[in-house]
Chains A and B, each alone.
Chain A
């Protein structure tokens, strides 16, 4: 009689039977059953179950399988003790010294980068926590050391120990696995969900645009409109000259989403027929005239340049290129201007993109800025972006293209309530000059008008070498009366302090060529 057979009887109930199967030798250890009792069988079963349960519990579960080779010895050192004490709570996502999860995530990524740059590895006691977080795999990989790589190999289900460098080569693949599926897995393209297929397509598009486009063409006819629009949008983001016929055909698609994305893609190709057509329309619609305004200008023998805008018509050709009659004149103008490369304007009308937004206009005034900004961003024209900001255009889309000088101009002009929206687009780390300008705004007279996100961005954007200085400066401000201000000040100071401690501890180990190693300004 086994425990399992007793359990089968118990599941149905002893009420269904008159006897139990023989308990064999076990019965000699059990009390004699009182057969006159109505529940005699049940008690007999419970006695046997107790005995067999103890026997069963006496054998802990084994772990069968071949032995795994141990981890190779590590050569990289551990970070200094203060860095380890800060990394622990950050890896465990404990609030620790930093209150907000987003701040912790940022500081952790920066800290892991510093540790990697200092050619150090995580201490063994933090490896378990680090590898338990699958979201951190790619960022912890460079600091795993041999032990961590060995552990990761086991986590991947591969018991073969591999050197850390070899495991490191798989970092890219791992990221792709985490994001979805590897590029060479065409099954996903054939059988995946729309989301998986698009993710696959976007990745392939970045790596091999021609092959990706061919794959899109292969499924184009049977794909629904929404999916075609997504594919065309992905092509637009990474448009190359050879995409022109595909995108030109997209202008005739029955789905409006596809047509709009195709126009956007073509406008990124300066040599395309689409851009030539739009440039011709722009030449006809936008003109800069030298006029004699009379008065003081005549005495000074100075003419005034005036912008004259004639909205283009919606003929069939214009409709095909996206300038439909359903759009207002202003919207058509924006689409037209957005399709013209910013550098083409002097040749088209004798004025630069920045001059177009500053020139005098007769009523009604047409706003060319939205279209110009779109074009500047599409063509990543940094010079035009800087010039537009100097001309007074404060569109946040320009921010990633701006020089430090232009950024400072923008930050000085933008109202305090919009400062966060601008800073959100500034790549990290900020130039020290920008940190100074923003910091002065935050602690200045209008600081109370700045939205909270600007404080958080400041805490992350301040370059490492000056983080400690800013932390001290904020600490020296004392405690504001308003509760919100106190919280903002405390959180910002905390983030800056932790970043500064990490930097101070690791700075001496950074390689000479690391820009973060530089002296304190």
Chain B
């Protein structure tokens, strides 16, 4: 029988926080009847607002799930509620398999037998290949024109003075960069547009807004210059293209040599942007000491991939996207999933983490943050920070500071996080009980 899930894994499965909340609300025995569990099937009937209870079935090995309710959320709150009940140990092995679960299981088994491999790309004709090449060339022309316009705009702004920046200018330019098929540049401009107007006004005489805006202008200008260079090394060219927003097909990435390791999930962060939800999952290779970032995308409201559970580990091959430093990756062949991964780490201080961040910046000056581990003591006063054995310190940022302090009690611990100019955003901590994701 497989190991029982932890509630955190159920949380990770929820398509959004509202569903998670609704699922937790159902994680009490009151509305449930005919529940049971026989690996890998978990089933139950949940009394909703109608007269007939909803039938729920979950295959915890994949996971996949089915509920008879009409919800468009997937998984729905009933599935989540049942999983929470099970994860909290309220459903033991046993019970009579419901008809619904039996039918669903049989249908899936039949479907598996007839399933063709959807991952196999269809063979393309010559005409299709020529059309694709033409589209690619057309896009490169648009990007070139768009970045020329952006660079001129940046020079105009610096000539006229940043204090005269027109409100809404960033949003307009971001829209033009979308037209120029440079979504990465557009995203950076939208970030600039999010800075509050009050901060801009206050910054006319100087201050953080001015410094940060000029820094971003400089980096955008550098990106424009890099795009025009034909003599860049392949790795740097790939980095530049990724920041502009060129994607690399999955098949191409999966064709790169795999990096095998037991990868610990040392951080996870979800965010919503317009109609797209993004999940960023940080992995740490427990043998190689490498880091990887796996991104999952979903239409807003739809569930994000929950195969990588915070605090767990996967024994798997990772395939890294081109560019330097190699960070973004796809999960290839997965051989095992370890519910609570245990490993040791080198005793690395703030200096080591900063040096790695600088090396990463040298390879990719547009990099926003870089994963790291720091062995040190967390403290809250006089400044929230992490102090290593040699007295080196880095400021702690983000909302998980209190949890980090509570878990470590100021004792020396290994902390995983994202390092950026503001400091360290802690994502996980290695405790005596194993890895705990914050």
Contact = CB atoms under 8 A, between A and B. Distances in A.
B258 interface: no
A294 interface: no
A129 B29 CA distance: 26
A11 B410 contact: no
A60 B421 contact: yes
B159 A70 contact: no
Interface stretch (A36-44, A346-354, A376-384, A505-513): A36-44
A498 B423 CA distance: 41
B219 A50 contact: yes
Interface string B224-263: 0100000000000000000000000000000000000000
Most buried by B among A7, A51, A63, A157: A63
Contact of B164 (A4, A7, A13, A498): A13
A507 B49 CA distance: 34
Contact of A50 (B51, B218, B419): B218
A11 B21 contact: no
Most buried by B among A46, A48, A54, A494: A46
A43 B155 contact: yes
A272 B164 CA distance: 76
Given A61-B395, A64-B393, A10 B210 contact: yes
Contacts of A498: 28
B379 A159 contact: yes
B35 to A, nearest CB: 14
Contacts of A57: 215, 361, 420-421
Interface string A2-45: 01101110111111100000000000000100000001011101
Given A63-B386, A129-B403, A50 B49 contact: no
A490 B7 contact: no
A150 B217 CA distance: 44
A95 B215 contact: no
A159 B30 contact: no
A15 B161 contact: yes
A483 interface: yes
A96 B24 contact: yes
Contacts of B409: 70-71, 124, 147, 150-151
B22 interface: yes
Interface string B45-66: 0010101000000000000000
Interface stretch (A81-89, A366-374, A441-449): A81-89
Given A60-B421, A63-B396, A128-B403, A68 B24 contact: no
A151 B380 CA distance: 8
Interface string A488-521: 0010011001100000000000000000000000
A450 B412 CA distance: 58
Contact of A7 (B89, B214, B401, B404): B214
Contact of A63 (B159, B204, B383, B402): B383
A81 B6 CA distance: 12
A97 interface: yes
Contact of B365 (A12, A50, A70): A50
Interface in A106-165: 124-129, 131-132, 147-148, 150-151, 154-155, 157-159
B406 to A, nearest CB: 4
Q: Give the interface size class of chain A.
A: 35 or more
Contacts of A497: 28-30
B158 to A, nearest CB: 4
Contact of A62 (B158, B164, B204, B395): B395
Nearest to A45: B158
A94 interface: yes
B411 A70 contact: yes
B156 interface: yes
Nearest to B424: A60
A100 to B, nearest CB: 11
A333 to B, nearest CB: 53
B211 A128 contact: no
Given A60-B357, A61-B422, A99 B25 contact: yes
Interface string A443-484: 000000000000000000000000000010001000100010
Given A15-B161, A46-B158, A81-B89, A95 B25 contact: yes
A45 B160 CA distance: 13
Contacts of B405: 128, 151, 154
Contact of B218 (A46, A131, A154): A46
Given A11-B210, A13-B164, A53 B158 contact: no
Given A3-B215, A60-B357, A494 B381 contact: no
B218 A147 contact: no
Most buried by B among A4, A8, A12, A68: A68
Interface in B87-108: 88-89
Contacts of B407: 124-125, 128
A303 B218 CA distance: 106
Contacts of A318: none
B387 interface: yes
Nearest to A70: B410
Given A11-B161, A63-B394, A53 B377 contact: no
A49 interface: yes
Contacts of B422: 60-61
Contacts of A425: none
A67 B404 CA distance: 16
B49 A54 contact: no
B364 to A, nearest CB: 10
Nearest to B354: A60
Contacts of B222: 47, 50
Contacts of B217: 10, 46, 49
B168 interface: no
B171 interface: no
Most buried by A among B24, B47, B206, B411: B24
B414 to A, nearest CB: 15
A224 interface: no
A149 to B, nearest CB: 11
A56 interface: yes
A67 B387 contact: yes
A364 interface: no
B377 to A, nearest CB: 7
A183 B155 CA distance: 62
Nearest to B364: A54
A49 B214 CA distance: 7
Contact of B410 (A15, A126, A150): A150
Nearest to B367: A57
A455 to B, nearest CB: 15
A94 B24 CA distance: 8
A218 interface: no
A272 to B, nearest CB: 54
Most buried by A among B155, B164, B357: B155
Interface in A305-339: none
B161 A13 contact: yes
Contact of A13 (B20, B160, B216, B379): B160
B211 A7 contact: yes
Interface in B395-438: 395-396, 400-407, 409-411, 419-424, 436
- Lowest 6 CB-CB distances: which A-B pairs, in order? A63-B385, A13-B161, A49-B218, A128-B403, A50-B218, A71-B409
Given A96-B25, A147-B409, 8 more contacts: A7-B162, A31-B225, A42-B158, A46-B221, A47-B218, A63-B386, A69-B410, A71-B411
Interface of B: 7, 20-22, 24-25, 27-31, 47, 49, 51, 88-89, 152, 154-156, 158-164, 204-206, 210-211, 214-219, 221-222, 225, 354, 357-358, 361, 365, 377, 379-387, 392-396, 400-407, 409-411, 419-424, 436
13 contacts: A3-B211, A13-B158, A16-B161, A52-B218, A57-B420, A58-B361, A62-B392, A65-B381, A67-B379, A82-B88, A96-B21, A127-B402, A128-B401
